[in-house]
Amino acid sequence: MKIIKLRTENLNIGSVEVEVKFKPIKNLHLSVHPPYGKVTVSSPEFFDLEKIRVYLTTKIGWIKQEQKKISSQEREAEKLFITRESHQFLGKRYLLKIRELEKNKIVLKHSTIDLYTKQDATADARKKILYNWYRKELRFQLSILIQNYASIMNLNIPEFGIRTMKTKWGSCTTENKKLWFNIELAKKPLDCIEYIVVHEMVHLLERNHNKNFIILMDKYLPNWRTQKKILNELPL
């Protein structure tokens, strides 16, 4: 399969740095991404940088407003992976309990996540055990949702993967019809995970964030705006 490399440029609009990606699309798409307020623009391939610069200049007020909103959003404290530390799973708060055992495993209880590992395990080792469990559990939830919506949307069940993503909850590679999901979704409510699944699967029907994309989102998940708002307001 031939891999198409997209042209990427960087622009500075005052103190704001913007990453511009040129794609085979018809309109400009401006985004400000959590958790750091990164600014990106997807641009038609035939646009020149000066035209994009002028466009961004008219949007600088909105960009800074969005960046301020993101910077003031509640954030999770840095995790030490110790007993009685708070951790999230599918939108619910649990207390972590570290228990000694030669074999690594996670046991989910009513109010605790019991993490079994060797006595001398480091924080990084404990994190790896927890995130391997997050990955397994998230894969299970995603599989159910993707199969369900593939049937509803009359699509073949797409391949999907889970990885660490800095600026997105999910992505869709339309060339090979593969979906990617942020592992941090394992911490979020199931309704919010459903919203991301539908969003990325709709991209298999409509590549761009245009009017048709909105129509399809309304068709397949009428309350998607509410779920998007809840997800965006949860701690980063």
Residues 26 and 104 in one domain: no
174 & 101 share domain: yes
**Tokens (6 digits) for 10:** 């960087």
Tell whether pTM > 0.85.
no
Task: Answer yes or no: is 44 within a domain.
Answer: yes
Q: pLDDT tens across 194-230, in order?
A: 999 999 999 999 988 889 999 999 999 999 999 999 9
Residues 92 and 167 in one domain: yes
Inter-helix orientation angle 224-233/190-202, to 10°: 120
Residue 2 lies in a domain: no
Give kind and range of the element (H or E) at residue 216: helix 211-220
The parent domain of residue 47 ranges over 7-71
Question: Do 35 and 90 fall into the same domain?
Answer: no
pLDDT above 90 (res 3): no
**Which pLDDT does position 5 carry in this prediction?**
63
* 98 in any annotated domain: yes
Quickly tell me which residue has 């949860």 as its tokens.
234
Residues 113 and 12 in one domain: no
Q: How many domains does the chain have?
A: 2
Cβ-based neighbours of 166, under 8 Å, separated by 6 or more: 35, 36, 38
What pLDDT digit, counting tens, does each position of 48-69 carry? 999 999 999 999 999 998 888 8
Indicate if 64 and 104 belong to the same structural domain. Answer: no
Q: Which CATH number characterizes residue 189's domain? A: 3.30.2010.10
Domain boundary, last residue among 44, 71, 98: 71
Q: Considering only the C-alpha atoms of the chain, give the largest distance between any 2 of them, rounded to a whole number of Å.
A: 61
Asked if residue 163 and residue 62 are part of one domain, the reply reads no
How many CB atoms sit inside 10 A of residue 184's CB?
18
- Strands 7-13 and 112-117 turn out to be unpaired
Distance of CA 81 to the CA centre of its chain: 23
CA-based Rg of the chain, rounded to a whole angstrom? 20
- Domain C-terminal end among 71, 97, 122: 71
3-state DSSP assignment of residue 38: strand
213 in the same domain as 108:
yes
Note whether 112 and 147 are same-domain residues: yes
Residue 146: inside a domain: yes
Please state, in angstroms and rounded to a whole number, the distance separating the CA atoms of residues 106 and 96. Answer: 10
pLDDT digits (tens, 9 = 90+) for 165-178: 887 899 998 788 89
The residue among 71, 99, 120 that closes a domain is 71
Peptide bond preceding 189 in cis form (omega within 30 of 0)? no
| 181 shares a domain with 91 | yes
- Assigned domain for 57 exists: yes
The pLDDT-based confidence of 182 (bands split at 50, 70, 90) is very high
> What gap in Å lies between CA 117 and CA 119, rounded to an integer?
6
Asked if residue 57 and residue 107 are part of one domain, the reply reads no
Nearest to 234 by CA among 39, 110, 90: 90
CB 42 within 8 A of CB 7: no
d(CA 17, CA 6): 19
Within a domain: residue 157? yes
Q: Specify whether 101 is located in the same domain as 191.
A: yes
Packing angle, helices 123-152 and 190-202, rounded to 10: 60
Let me know if residue 79 belongs to a domain: no
In-domain check, residue 145: yes
Is residue 160 very low, low, confident or very high in pLDDT (cuts 50, 70, 90)?
Answer: very high
| 90 close to 186: Cβ distance less than 8 angstroms | yes
